[in-house]
Amino acid sequence: MLPPIDLERQVRLMLEARAPHREPDRTFASVMEATRRVRQRPRYIASLLGHDAGWAAVAIRRVAPVFAVVSLAVAVLWSVGSPGRGGSPDLIPSPVHPTASSSPSLRASPPAIAEGEAWIAARIEGPGGPSRIELMRPDGSGRHLFAPAVEGPASYPDWSPDGRRIAFVADRLGSVWVAGADGTGAVQVASCTGSCSHPSWSPDGTRIAFTEYEGDEVTVGPTASSIRIVGLDGSNVTSIRSVIRLERPLIVDVPRWSPDSTLLVIAVDRFDPAGFETGAAIGTVPSSGGQIKYLTSFEEFAYYPDWSWATDTIVYSTEVIASKASPDPGDETWNLFTIRPDGSGATMLTDLSRGSRLAGPSWTPDGTRIIATRDDTHSGAFVDAASGLVTLIPGTDGASHLRLRPTP
Amino acid sequence: MSMQDQLVRRAQAGDHEAFGALVHAVIGRLYASARLILRDPDKAEDVVQDVLISAWRDVRALRDPGRWDAWLHRLLVRSCYRAAKQHRRREYVEIPFALDYDSAARDDLALVGLRDQLERAFDRLSTDQRMVLVLAYFADLSLLDISTALDIPIGTTKSRLHRAMAVLRAEIDSDARLATAVDGRTA
C-alpha cells in the first residue's frame, strides 16, 4: 500500500513537470497573421470613448449576422474571389471596406438620392475600426458614404416614412440624430446617459423610438436599458419620454413600431451574472408605456424583430450571441421566423444548414421581402417573405442593419 | 481596472496590438494545457491556434474582461473536445522528453517512482478527467471558472474532479500493490 501522500500536490508537480516549458514555435506568429485577416464579430461592443476623460460609453450592438442560401452564380463568384475559401472557415478574406479617404467610389461626388428611388442604408463595420453608414441601390450600385456633419462614426440608420431623412446614432456622442438623405442638415434629437441605439421612425414620421443603454466602466455591456420616444415637429424636439426600462438580467432593445403606432415590438435579452446570454424573447409593449406581452419564449432566442406596416406581420431572427450552452457561435444556425402580433402563427421562414446565420431582418416597405444580413461576411440579402428564398445583394460587403428606403 | 482588463477592452475595440499582448501572455500556458489534455504536440498547436483565432473573432461577445481567462479556457475545452474526437482514429500516447522537465519540479518529486506512476495513471484517464485535472491543477482555475469552461454545474465539477483524483489514487495503489507482489516473489 502506498504511504499517505499529498496527491493534489503531486499531481500539480507532475503536470508542471510534464508540460512543455516553451511556447510553440509557429503558433504565435501564425495566430497573429491569421487574426489580421479575420473580422471581429460586432456583437455587444464596448466602444471606448474619450480616453483622456477616462470614461467609456458602452454601445450595445446586437448586430445581425447572417447566412444565406445563395444563388449558384453569386456563390461561385464569391468563392472564386475569396482566397480563404476551402481553408478554415474562420479565415475569411477581408471584405472591401472603402474609407472616405481611400476609396475612389467614396471620394467621388455621391450620386443624388432621387425622389422615389430605392436605396439601402446600412451600417458598415470596418475591420476592427469604427462603423459608418453607407447608402447603395438594391443592385449594389452607387455605394457611397452617408456623411452627416457629426463627430465620430455613425450607425443604425433608419429611413423616415417619406424616405427623405435618416435617423441614426452618433456613436462617439452617444446620441440620436436626424439628417437628410444626402447627409445635410444633421440635428441631434436625443442623447443618452450611456449610449443610444436602434432609432426607429413611427409610421407618421412624428416620433422616433430608440434604445438607451446605461453602462459603466467595469462591466462590458449595459447594466440597464430603456425604450424611449422622442416627439418631433420637423427637426424640432417636442417631447421625450420613457416607455419601459429593464435592468440586468434583462435588457430591452430594438424597438419597432406597429402600423397604427399604438404598440412597439421589442426584444428582451436575458443574461446570467457572468454575462452569458441565457435567452432572448420578443414581445410588444404599448407605445404609451405599460407591460410587455411576450410573443415567444426566452428559450427560442428570438431577437431583432421588425413589424411590417403593409402586412401586419412581425419577423424576427433566432440569434444566440454568447451563451454557455453554445459557447462557439460558429456552430449556431440562425433562421428567420414570422409571427402575428398576437403571438399566433409562428412560422419558420428560412431553413438554413447548420452554422449558417441570417440575422437583423427588416421588412421592405411593401411587405413582400425582408432585407437581412449574413453573419460571416456581413453582406446583405433579400429573403422572399412567401418562399423564404434567400438572395445575396451584390456590393453590400461589410453591411449590417440594412434598411430599404420607403418609396411612396 | 487591471492591465489585462484594459488590454481586453482594447482588443474588443479592434486593437490588434493589444490582442497580441494578451496572446503573448497566455499562449504558452494554453499550449501546455492543450498538450497535457491531448498528449499530442501537433494537435495542441492546432487547438491553440483555433482558440486564439476564435478569441479574436468573438472577443466582443465577452462582456466582463475579468472573465478573459475563463472564457479562453472555455474555448480551449471546446476545441480540445473537437480535436479529441478527430484524434480517436489514431490514438497514441505522447512520451515526454526528459529535457522538458523542470529541474526544480523534478527535485520536488520526493517519492521515488511516484512520478512515473502518476504519469501512467494520468495517461489512462479519460479526456474528461484529464481536462478537469489540467484546469484545476495546472491552469489553476477556480471551481466557478472550471464549471464555466466545461459548461457543467459546480457540483458536477466537484464530483468530476473528485472522481478523477480517486481514479488516479486507485491506479497508483494498484501499481504499488503489483510492485509489492512482484518484489515478494523475487525476494
At B130-179, the pLDDT tens digits run: 999 999 999 988 888 888 788 777 778 888 888 888 888 888 777 666 66
By C-alpha distance, the chain A residue nearest B68 is A274
Interface of A with B in 229-288 (CB under 8 A): 271, 274-275
pTM over 0.80: no
Task: Tell me the shortest Cα–Cα distance from B100 to chain A, in angstroms.
Answer: 6
**What pLDDT does residue B118 have?**
85
Name the phi and psi angles at A201, rounded to 5.
-75, 145
pLDDT-derived band at A26, boundaries 50, 70, 90: low
Q: CA distances (Å), A97 to each of A125, A157, A357, B11, B14, in order?
A: 8, 18, 21, 20, 15
Q: Does A217 touch chain B (CB under 8 A)?
A: yes
**How many contacts, defined by CB atoms under 8 Å, are there between A and B?**
197
Separation of alpha carbons A201 and A163, rounded Å:
11
Alpha-helix residue ranges (DSSP H) falling in A81-177:
104-107
**B68 and A CB contact within 8 Å:** no
Q: Locate cell 430594438: which residue? A: A254
Cβ neighbours of B177 in A, within 8 Å: 1
**Helix, strand, or coil here: A224?**
strand
Query: By three-state DSSP, how is residue A291 classified?
Result: coil
Higher pLDDT, A231 or A11: A231
pLDDT for the residue numbered A317: 93
Report yes or no: A14 at the B interface, CB cutoff 8 Å: yes
pLDDT in tens, A40-81: 665 433 222 222 222 222 233 332 222 233 233 333 343 333
In chain B, the residue whose alpha carbon lies closest to the alpha carbon of A56 is: B9
Q: How far is B90 from chain A (nearest CA, A)?
A: 22
pLDDT at residue B177 in the model: 67
DSSP type of residue B14: T
- Residues of B in Cβ contact (< 8 Å) with A17: 100-102, 105-106, 109, 115
Query: C-alpha cell of A47?
Result: 466602444
Percent of chain B with pLDDT over 70: 77
Characterize the bridge pairing of strands A293-294 and A302-307.
unpaired
Please identify among residues 107-146 of chain B the ones whose CB lies closer than 8 Å to any CB of chain A.
108-109, 111, 114-115, 118-119, 122, 133-134, 137-138
Residues 6+ apart with CB under 8 A from B97: none
Mean of pLDDT over chain A? 77
Alpha-carbon distance A251 to A61, whole Å?
Answer: 12
Q: Cell 504558452 appears where? A: B28
Is the ipTM, as predicted for this complex, more than 0.85? Answer: no
Determine the Cα–Cα distance for residues A210 and B3; give it in Å rounded to an integer: 35
Q: Which residue type sits at B79?
A: S
pLDDT of residue A215: 67
Instruction: Calculate mean pLDDT across residues A86-113.
Output: 42
Quick check: A277 and A251 in contact, CB under 8 A? Answer: no
Which of A321, A330, A322 lies closest to A90 in space, CA to CA?
A: A330
Q: Which residues contact A177 (CB under 8 A, 6 or more apart)?
A: A148, A150, A154, A167, A168, A169, A170, A186, A187, A188, A189
B178 touches chain A (CB under 8 A): no
Q: Counting Cβ atoms within 10 Å, is residue B176 exposed (0-12), middle (13-18) or buried (19+)?
A: middle
> Does A89 lie at the interface with B, CB-CB under 8 angstroms?
no
If contacts are CB pairs under 8 Å, which of residues 42-71 in chain A contact chain B? 42-48, 56
Between residues B66 and B8, which one has the greater pLDDT?
Answer: B8
> CA dihedral defined by A247, A252, A253, A259, rounded to 10 degrees?
-150
What pLDDT score does A219 carry?
39
B1-18 average pLDDT score: 84
Adjacent-strand bridge partners of A294? A283
Identify which of A220, A324, A63, A32 has the alpha carbon closest to the alpha carbon of residue B56: A32
**pLDDT of A148 strictly over 70:** yes
For residue B112, what pLDDT is reported? 56
Q: How far apart are CA B84 and CA B158, in angstroms?
A: 23
Among A22, A45, A271, the residue with its CB nearest the CB of B60 is A45
* Mutation site, A15, A63, A375, interface B, largest B CB count within 10 A: A15
Best mutation target among A5, A6, A8, A11 (most B Cβ atoms within 10 Å) is: A11
Closest CA–CA distance from residue A301 to any residue of chain B (Å): 16
Q: Is the pLDDT of residue B51 over 70?
A: yes
Interface touch B138/A21, C-beta < 8 Å = no
CB contact under 8 A, B19 and A56: no
For residues B101 and B149, which has the higher predicted lDDT (pLDDT)?
B149
pLDDT value of residue B93: 40
Grid cell in block for residue A166? 435618416
